[in-house]
């Protein structure tokens, strides 16, 4: 029981500048697969939002919770389902999407280091094209969380309500670290040209 609790808490720790660089790198490499799956009608907006809410619940990003709750409502999800998902309750997630949503939680819990077996299960169940779209959605919201937590905490600090996990020193360090984003973009572009695998174990 304690092991499971500790595993879950791993994902709730704040990201470092180095982690955020790699989150950006991975997100920039795979966002196109999410967009492609959506444009090909392989993933609808509700499916994407469920994945994003699942990741946001693990990382506990206030600004992303607000933004994606709004988008989820606009996509047709009910208030009840959104509220439950942000509490980690998945009993209203359609059965055909549940494995993907659970993988999204696993991806966030492990800070972007899912097991090979879990990824293989996703590919077996959804096929490679949709699986890449799922990975793209997960990594896109991970970018939002990694940048959103320090920025929203800094803004809320000015309002007297900072994230209790954070500190002013952390927020300023992460905000300054945002300037590394162009480097991660170049790195992602080079990896794309070299056709490097989109996921490693």
Average pLDDT over residues 100-110: 97
- In angstroms, the CA 176 to CA 145 distance is 16
Residue 73 three-state SS: helix
d(CA 51, CA 85): 10
The whole-angstrom separation of Cα 191 and Cα 38 is 24
Provide the residue ranges of all domains of the chain, joining segments of one domain with +: 16-193
Task: Find out whether 122 and 134 touch, Cβ atoms under 8 Å.
Answer: yes
How large is the average pLDDT for residues 136-153?
95
User: Which stretches of 27-67 are assigned E, i.e. beta strand?
Assistant: none
DSSP state of 178: G
Confidence of residue 13 (pLDDT cuts 50, 70, 90): confident
User: Using the 8-state DSSP alphabet, how is residue 114 labeled?
Assistant: -
16-193: what CATH class? Answer: mainly alpha
Q: Which residue has tokens 């056709």?
A: 195
Q: How many residues are listed for the chain in this entry?
A: 201
pTM, rounded to two decimals: 0.90
What pLDDT digit, counting tens, does each position of 38-77 carry? 999 999 999 999 999 999 999 999 889 989 999 999 999 9
Q: How many helices (H) and strands (E) does the chain have?
A: 10, 0
């Amino acid at each position: 029981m304690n092991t499971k609790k500790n595993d879950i808490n791993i994902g709730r720790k704040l990201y470092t500048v180095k982690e955020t660089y790699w989150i950006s790198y991975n997100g920039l490499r795979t966002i196109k697969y999410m967009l492609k799956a959506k444009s090909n009608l392989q993933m609808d907006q509700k499916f994407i939002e469920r994945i994003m809410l699942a990741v946001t619940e693990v990382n506990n990003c206030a600004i992303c919770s607000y933004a994606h709750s709004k988008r989820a409502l606009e996509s047709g999800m009910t208030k009840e389902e959104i509220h439950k998902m942000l509490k980690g309750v998945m009993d209203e997630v359609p059965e055909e999407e549940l494995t993907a949503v659970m993988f999204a939680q696993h991806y966030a819990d492990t800070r972007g280091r899912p097991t090979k077996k879990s990824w293989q299960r996703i590919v077996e169940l959804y096929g490679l094209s949709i699986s890449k779209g799922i990975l793209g959605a997960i990594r896109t919201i991970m970018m939002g969380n990694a940048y959103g937590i320090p920025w929203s905490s800094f803004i809320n600090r000015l309002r007297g309500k900072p994230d209790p996990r954070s500190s002013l020193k952390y927020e300023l360090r992460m905000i300054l670290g945002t300037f590394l984003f162009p480097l991660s973009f170049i790195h992602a572009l080079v990896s794309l040209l070299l056709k490097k695998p989109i996921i490693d174990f």
